Structure 1
C-alpha cells in the first residue's frame, strides 16, 4: 500500500560515528540540496484521484444554500462533499477548543474558510468543478479589532460558547485572558522617578514554509485509511481526525512524509480530514496539494498584536515596575490562542528582574484569518515592545542601553513575574556583553577599490536606487527570554522505541519515534544519542508514524529535550540489558567482553576495538533487545486565573542580538549589515545544527522587522496579499552576516544539560533591527514591519 516517495529517505542507516557534541551531517541534507528528497507533495499512487477545496470568498456571511449540481456533472469528477455529507456527529476539530468546522455550516467566519470538497481524476478538473459550486452568501458585519469585538451589541463570532475558557472571559469574543500580578505596581509607580509609556503594533506574519500543505490518503480493505502527511504532531492530528471519520484510532494509520518546513504552521489540521473523507467516499487514494495562494488560507499565522506598556525606574537605572496590556488577534478560530496568551503574559516583562508587575494579555475572536502557533509563540510580540521600552527608558535616564539592560538583567535565582524561580543559568548580562564586545563590521562596505559602488552592499541592493547618498549607520541591541516545552500543567511527554540487534555480526541500533522531522535536525540528534549511550556506530532511524506512541509536537523548542530524553532513557535501559546479558554469558573471565563492558559503561564507542565489537555481537546473538519508554520532563503548573502565579514553565532559553544597519534616510531603504547573536544553548548536541537553527530564527525575526506582513482589509477582513509576489520574505540578498556565539551553561534538569534553542533568536532579532534603525534615523518607529514610508515621513511612524 505504500505510495511512491513516502516517507522521504530517512530510513537509511547512518554510519557516521559522531556522538553527542559533534557536528554530524544530516542524512537528508544532500538529497534536499540536490532536489532529490521526497516531500509530501511528491507522493504518487497509480490510481489516485486529486482533491480540491472550495473556499469562501467573503469573511463573514450566512450560507443560504450550496448547489453542487453543476460540479457533479463535470466529467472526471468522482465526489463532491459538503457539511451534509460528513459521516458522523463530530464535525468540528481543534487543538484545544473544538470550534473549527470540517466544512462550513450555517455561516463562514473568515475569508478562505473551506466550504466544499471535490475529488477528480485530474487536479485541474477538480478546480474547474469546484468553480461551478454555487454558494449563496448573505454577508454579515465583520469583527476586525478589539473595539468591534467588545462593543455593546457586538456580533458574536461564535454563538453559545461552552468551552472551558468561556466562563472566565469578560466577553464571548475574547478567546482567553490571562492576568499576571505580583507586587504592587500602583505603589511602585508612585515611587518611580521616571515613567515611560509606549504603544506598539505588531503585524501578522506568515510561516512561509518551503512546502505547501499536501498529503495522500489511501483507503484500506478493513474500512480504515492510511494517511501520509506533512505535519508537526502525528498523534494530535490522529486524535482530531478519527472522531470525524467515525473510525477508531487504530484504523487511521498515519506516516510522516517529507516536510518542507513548518515553524508552527502545521500544528493545526489543514487538508488531513478532507483527503481522508474523499478517499473513504470514493474508495480510491486521494492526493491534495495546495498551491501557494491556497496555503495562505490553509494554515494559521502569527498573531498580530497591539501592546501598551509602562515602565518605571529610579534615577540610578533600577526598574521599579512594569505594567502592560497585550491584545492578540486570534482570528476566527481558537487554534492555540490560549497557550499563546499564556506565553505572552508570563514572558511580557522580558529577561529582567522586576518586583512589581501588572500584566494583562488576551486573544480575540474576529473575522480575520485564524492565528496560532509560530516560532516564538507569543514571546515574539512581547519582546518587540519591552525591548523598545528598555531603549526609551535608558534614553530618558541618559544611560547606555546595554548597560541599563545588564543592570536589570535576571540571573539564576531571579523570580519571574509568575513567582517561578529561575533554577538554571540565566546569563542575560553575559550574552549582552558578548554581542557588544564583538568588533563592528567595516563601514561603507559598498565602496570598492576602483571607486565604483558595489550596489549589492547598499540599501535597496540590486534595485540600484542609491550609490551611498544619504546612507546612515545605526546599531541596536536586544535580548529575549523564551520558554521551552509545553507549559501550564500540560502532560508533556514523548515516547521512544529502541531496538538493538546483531546484523551480519555487527551491532545495529534502531530508533523509532513519532517525532515530526520538520528541519530541526532530530533525525541526526537521535542517532547521536544512540551512538553515545550504546557505544555502537551503526544506527537506523525508522520513519515516524503512529505505530509508536506519541512524541508530542515539534514545537516549543521541545523535541531535543523531550524526545531526545526519551531516546536517551530507552538507550540506557537497552544498555543495562546488554550488560546484564553479557555478564551472565561471559562473567568476568572473557578479556574482550571485559573491554566491551567498560566501554559501554562509560558510554564510549565499542568499535574502538574489534574484539570488543565481536563480543557485543556474541552477546546479542540472534535475539534482539527492544524497549519502548515514555519520558516526561518535570511537571509544570497551570497559572492562577486571577494572579497568574505558578510554576508555569519547565525551562527558559535566552538570546541576545546586536544589529548593524545602514539606512538611506532619503529613500527609506534599509540594509541589515550584520545580526550578531549570542545564545546559551546549555549543551550543543550538534553544534552545526544548533548554529543553523540560530541563524534561521534570526532571519525570520529580520523578516518581520522590515518586510513581512499579511495585510487584511479593515473593512472587509479579506486578505490582500496571499502570495509571495506581494508577501515579501528575506532572500539571500537580504540576509546579513549572522555570527553566532554559543554559551554552554548546563541545565542540570535537562538531558545532557541541553537548552531548547530554536525559538529564542526569533525574539530578539526583530527589536534589535528596529533599535538600529531608530539609532540611524532618530524616529520612534513603534510598529513592525518598518516600511519605507515610515522612514521618509510619508506615513505616521
Structure 2
C-alpha cells in the first residue's frame, strides 16, 4: 500500500559553504510559499476512510447512556466506537499524569471532550453519522475557578486520583503546588521604604496554528499500524499510543508529516489514538482532519492565571523582597500543568536580584478547557505581572523605569530564588540599554506632509474610525527571563544518526533524527552543523520518524541546543571514524596523518596549517561511516517541594522589548507602532532564522496583549468563541515594525555557545505593550488582553 503526501528527503547543498553562522535558506521554504508543501491534512490513500469525533456539548455531566444504533446503520459507515470498544485495559493517556480518557467514560469533564468516534467512506457521511449518536447527560455543577475548586465541599474533577503529586497538594482539585522560599520575606519587608501590590489577570490564549490537527493511520500486514502525523514529539506520542492499542512500540511506526505550526498545542495527543483505533478496527487507512471549530477543542491552551504580587524597595531603588501567588487554571486534565507550575514559580521573580522571596504557584483542576504547553510555558504569565510591578515600584521610588530595572538587574553570578547560580552571561541591563537606545519611530507618521491621514496607520485601521483626533502615543519597556530545555531532573536528551558516504563522486552526509520540524528551522540548522563538522557541501536530512531514537519535544526552546548538540556529537564521532579510515589508508605515506590536527573542509582532509592531505572521496572510497548516538546536556534536579531550592534549569535566556503604541482614547482602540527587541542568543547559528524566531515570538506576545483570548462562560464552562471569526489573532495589518538587536554572548556549556531563542520574546513583548498603553492613558490595566471597554470605561 502506498501513500501520497508523506514527507520526502530534504537535500541541501550547492557550491556555497552554508555552515554555522550563515543565513542559509530553508529547504522547505519555496514549497511552503508556493503552496506545494505537503502538510498532514494533504495526505491521501487510495482506499482510505474518514474519521470523525463526537464531542460533549456540556462541560460537566454524568453519561447516562450512549446509543450508536442509528449511526451504525448509516450507509457508508464502517465503524462506531465508544469507551466500551477500546481494545485493552489501558484507556487513559497523558504527558505526565495519565488522567485523560481516550473516550469519555462515566462522565465528561469539559466542553468538547471526545465521547465517540466514527469511520466512514466520506467525511460528510462520518459527520452526519456522528451527529446521529444519541448521548444522554445528567449535568453536574461546574468548577470554574479557585473558589469553587478548593471549597471543602467541592466536587472532585478526578474522584480516584492517585498520581505522584497528590501527596503534596492541599486539595485534590489542585494538580501541583510549588513554593519557592528563600531568605526571610517578613524581616526584609521591614526595610522597604516603598511597597506596591498588584492583582493581575491573564487570559486564556490559543496557539492558533494555521494547520489543524490531522493525520493518517494505515493498518499494516504485521498487525501493527503506520501513523503519519503532525506532532511535536513522535516518541512521546508513541509511548502513549501503543499501550492503548495493545501493541508493542515497534509495531506502531510513526512518521512526521508536514506541520502547519505548533507552539505547544501539539505536545499532547489529539486524534492520534482515534485514527489508529479506527484503522485497526476497519482494516483500512483512516484519515482525520479537524475543522477550526474542532481544533479549538482538540488541543490544550495557554493557562489563564490570577497573579498576586507584592514588591518592596528602598528609597535608593533596591528591591527588598517579593511575595507572590500564582494561580493557573489547568482545566479538566493535567497535560503539562506540573511543569508549567515549576516554570511560573521558579521564574516568578523575573530577571532581578531579590534575596528574600516567597512565591507559591498552583495549577487547578476545573471544568474549563484543558491547558498545557504554549510558547513561554508559565514564564509568560509571571512576566506580565512582575513587569507591571517594576513600573509601579519605579514610579513610587521616583526613578526612570528602565534605570530602575537596570539597577536591580541580575547578571552572571546572581543567585536565583531557587538557589541556582547563573553561571553564564545574563546581560539584562545591557539588553535594556540597547533597546532604549534604538531610534524611536517618528511622531504622527500616519500624517504625511500636506496630505490626509493614512488611516491604515491609525488605531482602527481601515475601519476609518479616526483621522487622528484623540490619538495619544505611549512608550513602554519590559524584560523577561526564560529557561531553556526540560528542567527539574527530567532526562533531557536527543538522538542523531549521521552517515557519510560517496554518492555520485561527491561526499555526502545524511542526518536522521526524530526532531519535529514545526517551522522553527531545525532542518536548516542540522545541515549547517553537518557541513561545519564534516566539511561537505551536500547534506541530506531524512524524514523524522520513530525508526531512530527520540529527539525529545520541539518545545522549551531546546531543539537547536539538544538535537543540534546530538547532531554535532554524532558528526564528531563520524569525523573521527573517517579520519581513522584515512590513517589506515594513507598514514604510512604522509606523517601528518598521525601528527597534525586534522580537519575536514571543502570535501578534503587538511592539516591545521591548511595542507591538503586527501580528498574525502578517496578516503571513503566504497565505504560508508554511520553512527547513531544520544547526547545529553548537563543534568538538572527537581525543586524541593517545601522550599523550591535546586539546580532546576539547564540554561536561561533573556529578551527586552520597547513598545510604541498609539491609542484612540475615545474609542479604546490601540495601534502598536513598533515593538523593538534586544535579545542575547549566545551564538546565531542562522542569523536570518534567529531574527524570524524573535519577530514571531514578539507577534504572539502582541496578540495576547490586545486581542487574543478564549472566552469561557463562567456559569456553563462552555467556550464562546471557537473560531477565527471570534478569536482574533494578529494579521499583517496588526503587526508593527519589529527591529531586532541580536547580542551574542556565548554560553560555554552549550554547543557553539548558543542559547534557545524562540520563547523569550513572547514573554517581554506583552508587558511592554501594556506598559506603553498605560503610559498613553494613565490607566492601571491589570488584565490582558486589553479590550476597548478597559480604555474607555464603557
| TM-score between the two structures when normalised by the length of structure 2 | 0.98
Displacement of 1:17 in angstroms is 2.7
**Aligned partners of 2:605 and 2:616 also within 8 Å:** no
Give the secondary structure class of the aligned counterpart of 1:302: coil
Displacement of 1:505 in angstroms is 1.7
**Aligned partners of 2:326 and 2:360 also within 8 Å:** yes
Give the secondary structure class of the aligned counterpart of 1:280: helix
**Aligned partners of 1:333 and 1:370 also within 8 Å:** yes
Displacement of 1:13 in angstroms is 4.3
Q: How many Å separate the matches in 1 of 2:622 and 2:268?
A: 44
Q: Does 2:160 match 1:160? A: yes
Q: Does 2:308 match 1:335? A: no
Q: How many Å separate the matches in 2 of 1:10 and 1:492?
A: 27
**Aligned partners of 2:604 and 2:616 also within 8 Å:** no
CA deviation vs aligned residue, 1:575-609 (integer Å, no higher than 9, x gap)? 01111110111116369x969x97x9345333699
Q: Which residue of 1 aligns with 2:179?
A: 179
Q: Does 2:390 match 1:393? A: no
Q: Which residue of 1 aligns with 2:583?
A: 583
CA deviation vs aligned residue, 1:220-250 (integer Å, no higher than 9, x gap)? 0000000000000000000000000000000
**Aligned partners of 2:488 and 2:639 also within 8 Å:** yes
**Aligned partners of 2:23 and 2:687 also within 8 Å:** yes
**Aligned partners of 2:605 and 2:615 also within 8 Å:** no
Q: Which residue of 2 aligns with 1:66?
A: 66
Q: How many Å separate the matches in 1 of 2:547 and 2:251?
A: 11
Q: Which runs of 5 or more residues in structure 1 are unaligned?
A: none
Q: Which runs of 5 or more residues in structure 2 are unaligned?
A: none
Displacement of 1:160 in angstroms is 1.4
Q: How many Å separate the matches in 2 of 1:701 and 1:325?
A: 22
Q: How many Å separate the matches in 1 of 2:777 and 2:396?
A: 18
CA deviation vs aligned residue, 1:476-502 (integer Å, no higher than 9, x gap)? 000000000000000000000000001
Q: How many Å separate the matches in 1 of 2:584 and 2:112?
A: 65
Q: How many Å separate the matches in 1 of 2:90 and 2:379?
A: 34
CA deviation vs aligned residue, 1:538-584 (integer Å, no higher than 9, x gap)? 10000000000000000000000000000000000010111111011
**Aligned partners of 1:10 and 1:27 also within 8 Å:** no
**Aligned partners of 1:671 and 1:734 also within 8 Å:** yes
Q: How many Å separate the matches in 1 of 2:676 and 2:605?
A: 40
Q: How many Å separate the matches in 2 of 1:272 and 1:391?
A: 46
Q: Which residue of 1 aligns with 2:751?
A: 751
Displacement of 1:217 in angstroms is 0.1
Give the secondary structure class of the aligned counterpart of 1:242: helix
**Aligned partners of 2:460 and 2:669 also within 8 Å:** yes
Residues 24-63 of structure 1 aligned to structure 2 (within 5 Å): 24-63=24-63
Q: How many Å separate the matches in 1 of 2:706 and 2:55?
A: 31
Residues 121-136 of structure 1 aligned to structure 2 (within 5 Å): 121-136=121-136
Q: Does 2:205 match 1:208? A: no
Displacement of 1:611 in angstroms is 11
Displacement of 1:116 in angstroms is 0.2
Q: Which residue of 1 aligns with 2:113?
A: 113
Q: How many Å separate the matches in 1 of 2:654 and 2:143?
A: 37
Q: Which residue of 2 aligns with 1:792?
A: 792
Q: How many Å separate the matches in 2 of 1:476 and 1:167?
A: 43
Q: Which residue of 1 aligns with 2:85?
A: 85
Q: How many Å separate the matches in 1 of 2:593 and 2:76?
A: 69
CA deviation vs aligned residue, 1:259-315 (integer Å, no higher than 9, x gap)? 000000000000000000000000000000000000000000000000000000000
Give the secondary structure class of the aligned counterpart of 1:789: helix
**Aligned partners of 1:77 and 1:120 also within 8 Å:** yes
Q: Which residue of 2 aligns with 1:275?
A: 275
Residues 306-705 of structure 1 aligned to structure 2 (within 5 Å): 306-587=306-587, 589=589, 601-602=598-599, 604-606=601-603, 615-705=615-705
**Aligned partners of 1:10 and 1:28 also within 8 Å:** no
Q: Does 2:294 match 1:294? A: yes
**Aligned partners of 1:174 and 1:362 also within 8 Å:** yes
Q: How many Å separate the matches in 2 of 1:437 and 1:624?
A: 53
Aligned residues: 790
Q: How many Å separate the matches in 1 of 2:66 and 2:584?
A: 72
Displacement of 1:615 in angstroms is 2.4
Displacement of 1:2 in angstroms is 4.1
**Aligned partners of 1:477 and 1:767 also within 8 Å:** yes
Q: How many Å separate the matches in 1 of 2:689 and 2:604?
A: 25
Q: How many Å separate the matches in 2 of 1:358 and 1:337?
A: 21
Q: How many Å separate the matches in 1 of 2:183 and 2:404?
A: 22
**Aligned partners of 2:495 and 2:550 also within 8 Å:** yes
Q: Which residue of 2 aligns with 1:770?
A: 770
Give the secondary structure class of the aligned counterpart of 1:747: coil
Give the secondary structure class of the aligned counterpart of 1:371: coil
Give the secondary structure class of the aligned counterpart of 1:654: strand
Give the secondary structure class of the aligned counterpart of 1:372: coil
**Aligned partners of 2:179 and 2:345 also within 8 Å:** yes
Residues 13-28 of structure 1 aligned to structure 2 (within 5 Å): 13-15=12-14, 17-28=17-28
CA deviation vs aligned residue, 1:701-730 (integer Å, no higher than 9, x gap)? 000000000000000000000000000000
Q: Which residue of 2 aligns with 1:11?
A: 10
**Aligned partners of 1:52 and 1:288 also within 8 Å:** yes
Give the secondary structure class of the aligned counterpart of 2:576: helix
Displacement of 1:451 in angstroms is 1.9
Q: Which residue of 2 aligns with 1:194?
A: 194
Q: How many Å separate the matches in 1 of 2:284 and 2:186?
A: 65
Q: How many Å separate the matches in 2 of 1:14 and 1:251?
A: 35
Give the secondary structure class of the aligned counterpart of 2:95: coil
Q: How many Å separate the matches in 2 of 1:319 and 1:774?
A: 23
Q: How many Å separate the matches in 1 of 2:303 and 2:355?
A: 29
**Aligned partners of 2:330 and 2:363 also within 8 Å:** yes
Give the secondary structure class of the aligned counterpart of 1:581: helix
Displacement of 1:613 in angstroms is 9.8
**Aligned partners of 1:506 and 1:613 also within 8 Å:** no
**Aligned partners of 1:207 and 1:263 also within 8 Å:** yes
Displacement of 1:330 in angstroms is 0.0
Q: How many Å separate the matches in 1 of 2:472 and 2:616?
A: 66
Q: Which residue of 2 aligns with 1:243?
A: 243
Q: Does 2:773 match 1:783? A: no
Displacement of 1:530 in angstroms is 0.3
Q: How many Å separate the matches in 2 of 1:737 and 1:2?
A: 46
**Aligned partners of 1:39 and 1:257 also within 8 Å:** yes
Q: How many Å separate the matches in 1 of 2:585 and 2:250?
A: 40
**Aligned partners of 1:693 and 1:758 also within 8 Å:** yes
CA deviation vs aligned residue, 1:613-667 (integer Å, no higher than 9, x gap)? 9721111111110001100000000000000000000000000000000001111
**Aligned partners of 1:349 and 1:386 also within 8 Å:** yes
Greater displacement, 91-100 / 448-457: 448-457
**Aligned partners of 1:606 and 1:612 also within 8 Å:** no
CA deviation vs aligned residue, 1:495-552 (integer Å, no higher than 9, x gap)? 0000000112210000000000000110000000000000111100000000000000
Structure 1 pair 452–369 and aligned structure 2 pair: CA distance change class (3 A): same
CA deviation vs aligned residue, 1:339-367 (integer Å, no higher than 9, x gap)? 00000000000000000000000000000
Q: How many Å separate the matches in 2 of 1:28 and 1:612?
A: 35
**Aligned partners of 1:4 and 1:44 also within 8 Å:** yes
Give the secondary structure class of the aligned counterpart of 2:474: strand
Structure 1 pair 422–589 and aligned structure 2 pair: CA distance change class (3 A): same
**Aligned partners of 1:348 and 1:382 also within 8 Å:** yes
